[in-house]
Structure 1
Amino acid sequence: MQSRDSDAFRSHARDDRAVVLDGVSRSFAGRTVLRDVSLSVRRGEFVSLLGASGAGKTTLLRILADLNRADTGRVLVPKARSVVFQEPRLVPAKRVWQNVVIGHDSIANSKQAAYSALEEVGLGSHAEAWPKTLSGGEAQRVALARALVLEPKLLLLDEPFAALDALTRIRMYELVERLWRVHNPAVVLVTHDIDEAILLSDRVVILTNGEISLDVRIDAQHPRSRTDAASVALRTRLLEELGVANGLAVGRNAANEVSTA
């Protein structure tokens, strides 16, 4: 049975971990999706999860979000956590600012908090608009504002850029990096895009058949380039771990998508 204690590990002043997974396993209908996974994420650290479809990435993220339960193991996460999904999930009948604070009844002066969050993501002028008037990138920025309005200690991102065009993705990378540095949450990003992981992360973790097969730290400073020697070498290493042939993969946009779906 899973043991979950939102803040127990914070009692130790020198413990800088925001997330602790210890021996976490999860099965569905007799199929093991996660197998004895142990992972820690420091406060303010940005970790990307890579792996083929079915490797257990989203299941792991949903356990961190308390949207799913582990069968075994220990899960330690902060109480203040937010999730941004692939779809913005905005309520059409509520204005943009109302979507930012929806479900956040504890926020005093919620309209003021919503306006402030929207200014941070560059949508202050859209606060009174209806969701149907927004572009895909704008809608996802609203979802990001909603996630950050409560100042989470843990921000969980489940392929939030997958449905966006290439140019909008780049702009979202820049926005997420800036907001991460301002708010300093621990971030766990699920992605199929290798370049995305390299450009944004402090660490890249690869899940293979429900187990961590690689955990690599990236020391390069931000902003990063896709084409410098360190990024190319890391991309090659990640592709090899994912079982993608270098000759077919390196240098092609399609190769950065490792999903088998």
Structure 2
Amino acid sequence: MLLQGVRRVFGQRAVLDGIDLSLRRGEFVAVLGPSGTGKTTLLRLLAGLDSADGGRLRVPRARSVVFQEPRLVPAGRVWENVVLGERGRAARQAALAALEEVGLAAQADAWPRTLSGGEAQRVALARALVREPDLLLLDEPFAALDALTRIRMHELVAQLWRRHHPAVVLVTHDVDEAILLADRVLVLSGGRWGIDREVAIAPPRERSDPSFAALRRELLGELGVGQPH
């Protein structure tokens, strides 16, 4: 159990209104919902960046967050951004190993300003994984990327997830992205869960699969988005 009866109130509005969330190690959960429904608030609570107004949180101490923006330090080289605050040969070796996993070992000594958007986000992912987290939190990390880079990042995240086995919570607006990556998809609405669905589609998942299309229709319906006929 990560959350039990958790509330978060802003003014008179309960953005999260007594929600529960259970997550097994190695499970990948995607959270959907319209803007302003509390998705980022949920992630901030799980990350320890905000406090609940009620209920219980029980989250692993070893957790990492990847945000929509890479948030790299311009004054530090790429490898230094992976192991923020650490120095010495051991830190550099750990950074190089993490960068190798995301395909950026050759850019270890580059400055962040020389990286593309996709490369910068891969550095942010390496920084999250170098700590071997039990819980990996992804806050719309692909939203600012172009379509081809996003596809490559999907493949990379899936590969790294299978290799490291953290529990993952992905917040996204992209229904297809949620179905492609997650074991379960939840829709947050009115401070509560509207839908909690297992994605029972064997990989590799294809949008042309009738099961994919059916789940997509259900999720879009819950989000209030009509399907063209």
Q: TM-score, normalised by structure 1?
A: 0.86
User: Could you tell me which residue of structure 1 aligns to residue 160 of structure 2?
Assistant: 179
Q: Does 1:80 align with 2:26?
A: no
User: Could you tell me which residue of structure 2 aligns to residue 45 of structure 1?
Assistant: 27
User: Could you tell me which residue of structure 2 aligns to residue 70 of structure 1?
Assistant: 52
Q: Contact conserved, 1:96 with 1:129, CA < 8 A, in 2?
A: yes
Partner Cα distance (2:29, 2:88) in 1: 28
Distance 1:108 1:185, change over 3 A: farther
Q: Does 1:247 align with 2:228?
A: yes
User: Could you tell me which residue of structure 1 aligns to residue 90 of structure 2?
Assistant: 109
Gaps of 5+ in 2: none
Q: Does 1:136 align with 2:114?
A: no
Q: Offset at 1:184?
A: 0.3
Residue 129 of structure 1: SS of its match in structure 2? Answer: coil
Once the two structures are aligned, what percentage of the paired residues are identical? 66
**Runs of 4 or more above 6 Å deviation:** none
Partner Cα distance (2:145, 2:18) in 1: 34
Letter paired with 2:184: R
Gaps of 5+ in 1: 1-18, 249-261
After TM superposition, the structure 1 stretch with the greater mean CA deviation from structure 2, 32-41 or 137-146, is: 32-41
Q: Offset at 1:227?
A: 1.5
Letter paired with 1:79: R
Aligned match for 1:56, one of 18, 38, 51: 38
Q: Offset at 1:52?
A: 0.2
Letter paired with 2:59: V
CA root-mean-square deviation = 1.3
Partner Cα distance (1:136, 1:28) in 2: 33
Partner Cα distance (2:216, 2:14) in 1: 28
Q: Offset at 1:108?
A: 7.8
Q: Contact conserved, 1:54 with 1:209, CA < 8 A, in 2?
A: no
Q: Contact conserved, 1:107 with 1:113, CA < 8 A, in 2?
A: no
Residue 34 of structure 1: SS of its match in structure 2? Answer: strand
Letter paired with 1:53: S
User: Could you tell me which residue of structure 2 aligns to residue 169 of structure 1?
Assistant: 150
Paired positions, count: 229
Q: Offset at 1:29?
A: 2.0
Letter paired with 2:145: L
Q: Offset at 1:106?
A: 9.6
User: Could you tell me which residue of structure 1 aligns to residue 108 of structure 2?
Assistant: 127
Q: Offset at 1:222?
A: 1.8
Greater relative contact order (Cα < 8 A, sep 6+) = 2
Q: Offset at 1:134?
A: 0.2
Partner Cα distance (1:213, 1:138) in 2: 35
Letter paired with 2:42: L
